[in-house]
Amino acid sequence: MTMTYRGIIPFSGGIDSTAALYTTLTEYPNDTWLVFKVNLINGSAASRTIQEELAVNAILDELRAMGIQNFRYKRLAFDYAQLGSPPVWDSEVVNFAAATCIRANPSIGELIEGAIADDYLQAGFDDRLAKIEKILYLVSEKSRSELQIKFPLQHKNKYEVMKLLPTAILNLTWSCRYPEGDVNWQLQRCHKCATCQTIDQTLEQYPNAFEGFE
């Protein structure tokens, strides 16, 4: 029997996609959602792939333990490391894969995007978003009324997005693009990539707001 889903939620284990996931699952507890992780192995960020995978599994376990269970989890891996430095944006691959998933599950009527207010301020963001939408509708073969793209976080800044997550969930997220080695093979945030910088600015601005978050 094919499951019926209200929508699909691409999930990377980062703060924003975790917040989009948490908001959606708790706001619509009577609908079932398809949580979708695309594992991109592209050679430039092997350690990030590992950290994201650990984060995704830990967060989903924590949600289940909290009694939030209105989802199914599907995972797909693409290894295109042989192509050298990635020829496409991660978000394009993720949405292409999500669209093929939507074709296979015709009940899916929504796609949840984790874009936050800060993203819209970046140069070129609107163009990237427009391209993603194009990919989604082309590959899924759905019309705009059959498939809606929802942006639950579009009016929230990083602080507000971090604040809406329970501490136990926030502390399991992984957002750094280039994790760095530490003692005992533990990886840490690089504090240099764009994502780390936004997080560190927020932590600096609100020093005691996020207990246990590093």
> Of 44, 168, 149, 152, whose CA–CA distance to 99 is shortest?
149
Q: Give the contact letters, 126-165, x = binds to Zn ion (CB under 5 A), - = no.
A: ----------------------------------------
Query: In whole angstroms, how close is the CB of 205 to Zn ion at the nearest point?
Result: 18
Q: In this complex, which beta carbon is closest to Zn ion, that of residue 23 or of residue 51?
A: 51
The interface region with Zn ion, picked from 18-26, 154-162, 165-173, 196-204 by CB under 5 A, is 196-204
DSSP three-state, residue 152: coil
CB closer to Zn ion, 40 vs 98: 40
**With CB under 5 A as the contact rule, which of the stretches 41-49, 51-59, 100-108, 189-197 interacts with Zn ion?**
189-197
Helix or strand (DSSP H, E) at 134: helix 125-140
For Zn ion, which residue of 50, 58, 149, 196 counts as binding (CB under 5 A)?
A: 196
Piece of the chain touching Zn ion by CB under 5 A; list 4-12, 71-79, 102-110, 185-193:
185-193
Burial 95-109 (b: 16+ CB within 10 A, else e): bbbbbebbeeeeebe
At its nearest, how many Å lie between Zn ion and the CB of residue 194? 8
- Take residue 190 and report the two structure tokens written for it: 């690089």
User: Is 187 near Zn ion (CB under 5 A)?
Assistant: no
From the CB of 184, what's the least distance to Zn ion, in Å? 20
**Choice from 164, 187, 193, 203 touching Zn ion (CB under 5 A):** 193
User: Under 8 Å CB-to-CB from 115, ≥6 apart: which residues?
Assistant: 16, 125, 129, 151, 153, 154
Q: Which among 136, 106, 153, 90 is positioned nearest to 7, based on CA atoms?
A: 106
**What is the distance between the alpha carbons of residues 193 and 176, in angstroms, rounded to a whole number?**
7
Question: For binding to Zn ion (CB under 5 A), which residues are involved?
Answer: 176, 189-190, 193, 196
